[in-house]
């Protein structure tokens, strides 16, 4: 972090701008908006600055900068085009501990002024630390266009209700946070964003009354698919829930990039699961979900890919349903879809495959074997999850049951992530290739004629500019 971001309260604070041109004028406008008690030192002023002086908004000293002018100031901005003066101002401020900014000279700045999106009291400040001002402005323009103006109304309203809400929830902090979360997404927010401040206030009052009447601490579990690993492939719903969870239970398929998007204060519980190395047995996970929800927590169960595809999601919510815990299931991009797209291997194709089957290659003692005879159609694509270890067995069984040994086959490791690795061969050669390329889980095997399209359609997971 090159700069420490802060918002400074400058109301009625003595501040100084040196310079009377257009650049100074922009800074003066900002400082006036922030309520500063502003002095402007410059022999000449732009007409707009002159008007501000005449209106009594700023105190004007009609001369050049002199040593000692910064004394007593909180903050100084130098906007002159005289390098000697700029350096003198900078030195004086540094010597006396006054915050100083020399416009367009980062090396003479103790603080820099960010690009801002102003939805007061909500304020978004963007800075590239002086490295890429155009990029910062570009981002500002995008946020400006995207962020409804009503957000200011909403933030003001939240401010007005803050004390009242605090008092009514007392030390029940989690409930208070939950109230705000639902209030800021509910009717009050809709009205505020539409500019109806009064309607929004009424809706918020009603919501607060409802929340007070409902004193039960009701937790909930969200079973959320986090996709195959690339954070860009999360759903909006997943991201939203990640930001409101009290506690998150995740396993090793959930990448650290994705975990970084979970609300910072949420408790994080690793519950493991590599093929044979379970940090917590499934039954324990099921019980833990129930227990946490019964404590009134918003529980996020984050799973790789889609929760209902080889994710044991069904078992987890079964336990919740039995215990009357409210739950929601959010689909994710299953790794077959992710790997297929990112490796340029369509799972179906009019010329090569009319159907696709997902199977698991993981075998546990006592589990039944796959119905191999059903998996040998030459016009079907077969996707094998959890199949790295069993690949030799799987390929051998398929060939024995009649699928051609020359059938194209691919294995894709860590699909959709920067470490994605794709190896292609045939049913006969794949097991040796897996050894040779040291492929490790998580990886998916795709078997079928569609795999030949990889050579032509692979885009190497590099986004189009």
The residue among 101 and 334 lying less far from ligand SAH, judged by its C-beta, is 334
User: Is residue 347 a contact point for ligand SAH (CB under 6 A)?
Assistant: no
**Catalytic residue flag (residue 251):** yes
Contact 246, 298 (CB under 8 A): yes
Of 76, 79, 117, 112, residue with least CA distance to 94: 76
Distance CA 86, CA 70 (A): 12
The residue among 114 and 442 lying less far from ligand SAH, judged by its C-beta, is 442
Question: Could you tell me which stretch among 93-101, 289-297, 307-315, 399-407 binds ligand SAH (CB under 6 A)?
Answer: 307-315
Of 83, 96, 84, residue with least CA distance to 16: 96
Contact 406, 427 (CB under 8 A): yes
User: Is residue 461 a contact point for ligand SAH (CB under 6 A)?
Assistant: no
Which three-class secondary structure string do you get for 69-91?
CCCCCCEEEECCCCHHHHHHHHH
Q: Residue 444: phi, psi to the nearest 5?
A: -120, 145
Alpha helices in 72-196 (DSSP H): 83-96, 133-146, 150-169, 173-183, 187-193
Whole-Å CA distances, 463 to 144, 416, 458: 25, 11, 12
User: Binders of ligand SAH: how many residues, by CB under 6 A?
Assistant: 23
User: Is residue 28 a contact point for ligand SAH (CB under 6 A)?
Assistant: no
What's the helix, strand, coil split of the chain in %, to 5?
40, 20, 40
Of the residues 311, 344, 408, 431, which one makes contact with ligand SAH according to CB under 6 A: 311
Q: Which helix (H) or strand (E) holds 345?
A: none
Question: Could you tell me which stretch among 162-170, 178-186, 297-305, 344-352 binds ligand SAH (CB under 6 A)?
Answer: 297-305
| Catalytic member of 69, 251, 297, 303 | 251
Strands 380-385 and 355-360: parallel
The SS3 call for residue 14 is strand
Question: Could you tell me which stretch among 76-84, 119-127, 308-316, 448-456 binds ligand SAH (CB under 6 A)?
Answer: 308-316
Of the residues 288, 310, 347, 375, which one makes contact with ligand SAH according to CB under 6 A: 310
Whole-Å CA distances, 83 to 49, 73, 371: 22, 21, 81
Distance CA 94, CA 226 (A): 49
Smallest distance from the beta carbon of 428 to ligand SAH, in angstroms? 21
Of the residues 154, 192, 241, 386, which one makes contact with ligand SAH according to CB under 6 A: 386
User: Is residue 331 a contact point for ligand SAH (CB under 6 A)?
Assistant: no
Distance CA 215, CA 306 (A): 34
User: Is residue 153 a contact point for ligand SAH (CB under 6 A)?
Assistant: no
| Catalytic member of 27, 191, 273, 414 | 273
Q: Which helix (H) or strand (E) holds 388?
A: none
Binding flags for ligand SAH, 217-256, as an x/- string (CB under 6 A): -----------xx-----------------------x---
Binding flags for ligand SAH, 389-428, as an x/- string (CB under 6 A): -----------------------x-xxx------------
Distance CA 144, CA 35 (A): 23
Smallest distance from the beta carbon of 441 to ligand SAH, in angstroms? 5
Of the residues 204, 289, 399, 444, which one makes contact with ligand SAH according to CB under 6 A: 444
Contact 316, 285 (CB under 8 A): yes
User: Is residue 152 a contact point for ligand SAH (CB under 6 A)?
Assistant: no
Distance CA 196, CA 209 (A): 20
Question: Could you tell me which stretch among 81-89, 95-103, 118-126, 300-308 binds ligand SAH (CB under 6 A)?
Answer: 300-308
**Catalytic residue flag (residue 244):** no
User: Is residue 344 a contact point for ligand SAH (CB under 6 A)?
Assistant: no
The residue among 23 and 261 lying less far from ligand SAH, judged by its C-beta, is 261
Question: Angle formed by the axes of helices 197-213 and 150-169, to 10°?
Answer: 30
The residue among 403 and 414 lying less far from ligand SAH, judged by its C-beta, is 414
The residue among 114 and 228 lying less far from ligand SAH, judged by its C-beta, is 228
| Cross-strand bridge partners of residue 30 | none
The residue among 305 and 448 lying less far from ligand SAH, judged by its C-beta, is 305
Smallest distance from the beta carbon of 382 to ligand SAH, in angstroms? 13
Question: Could you tell me which stretch among 3-11, 16-24, 317-325, 441-449 binds ligand SAH (CB under 6 A)?
Answer: 441-449
User: Is residue 306 a contact point for ligand SAH (CB under 6 A)?
Assistant: yes
| Cross-strand bridge partners of residue 277 | 274
User: Is residue 114 a contact point for ligand SAH (CB under 6 A)?
Assistant: no
Question: Could you tell me which stretch among 120-128, 189-197, 204-212, 303-311 binds ligand SAH (CB under 6 A)?
Answer: 303-311
Torsion of Cα atoms, 71 then 72 then 77 then 78, to 10°: -20
Contact 237, 330 (CB under 8 A): yes
Catalytic residues: 251, 273
Question: What is the contact surface with ligand SAH in residues (CB under 6 A)?
Answer: 228-229, 253, 303-306, 309-311, 334-335, 339, 385-386, 412, 414-416, 441-444
């Amino acid at each position: 972090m090159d700069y420490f971001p802060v918002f400074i309260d400058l109301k009625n604070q003595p501040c100084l701008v040196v310079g009377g041109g257009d650049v100074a004028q922009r800074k003066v406008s900002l400082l006036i908006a922030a309520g500063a008690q502003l002095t402007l030192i410059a022999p000449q002023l732009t007409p707009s600055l002159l008007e501000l002086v005449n209106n009594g908004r700023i105190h004007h000293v009609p001369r050049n900068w002199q040593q000692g002018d910064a004394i007593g100031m909180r903050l100084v901005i130098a906007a002159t085009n005289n390098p000697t003066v700029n350096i003198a101002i900078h030195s004086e401020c540094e010597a006396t501990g006054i915050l100083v900014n020399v416009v367009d000279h980062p090396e003479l700045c103790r603080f820099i002024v960010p690009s801002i999106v102003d939805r007061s009291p909500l304020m978004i400040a963007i800075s590239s630390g002086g490295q890429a001002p155009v990029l910062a402005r570009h981002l500002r323009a995008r946020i400006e266009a995207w962020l409804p103006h009503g957000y200011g109304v909403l933030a003001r309203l939240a401010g007005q209700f803050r004390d009242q809400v605090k008092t009514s929830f007392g030390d029940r902090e989690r409930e208070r946070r939950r109230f705000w979360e639902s209030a800021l997404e509910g009717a009050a927010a809709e009205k505020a964003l539409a500019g109806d401040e009064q309607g929004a206030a009424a809706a918020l009052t009603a919501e607060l009354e409802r929340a007070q009447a409902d004193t039960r601490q009701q937790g909930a579990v969200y079973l959320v698919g986090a996709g195959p690993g690339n954070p860009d492939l999360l759903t909006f719903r997943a991201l939203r829930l990640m930001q409101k969870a009290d506690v998150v239970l995740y396993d090793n398929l959930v990448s650290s990039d994705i975990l970084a998007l979970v609300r910072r204060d949420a408790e994080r519980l690793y519950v493991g699961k590599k093929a044979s190395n379970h940090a917590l047995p499934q039954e324990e996970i099921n019980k833990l979900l129930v227990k946490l929800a019964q404590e009134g927590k918003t529980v996020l169960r984050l799973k790789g890919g889609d929760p209902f595809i080889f994710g044991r999601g069904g078992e987890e919510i079964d336990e919740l349903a039995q215990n009357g815990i409210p739950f929601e299931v959010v689909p994710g991009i299953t790794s077959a879809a992710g790997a297929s797209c990112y490796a340029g291997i369509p799972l179906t194709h009019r010329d090569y495959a009319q159907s696709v089957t997902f199977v698991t290659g993981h075998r546990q003692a006592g589990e039944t074997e796959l119905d191999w005879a059903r998996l040998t159609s030459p016009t079907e694509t077969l996707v094998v999850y959890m199949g790295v270890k069993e690949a030799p067995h799987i390929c051998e069984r398929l060939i024995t049951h009649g699928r051609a040994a020359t059938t194209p086959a691919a294995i894709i490791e860590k699909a959709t992530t920067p470490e994605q690795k794709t190896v292609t061969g045939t049913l006969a050669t794949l097991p040796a290739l897996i050894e040779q390329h040291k492929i490790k889980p998580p990886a998916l095997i795709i078997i079928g004629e569609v795999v030949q399209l990889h050579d032509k359609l692979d885009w190497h997971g590099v986004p189009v500019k």
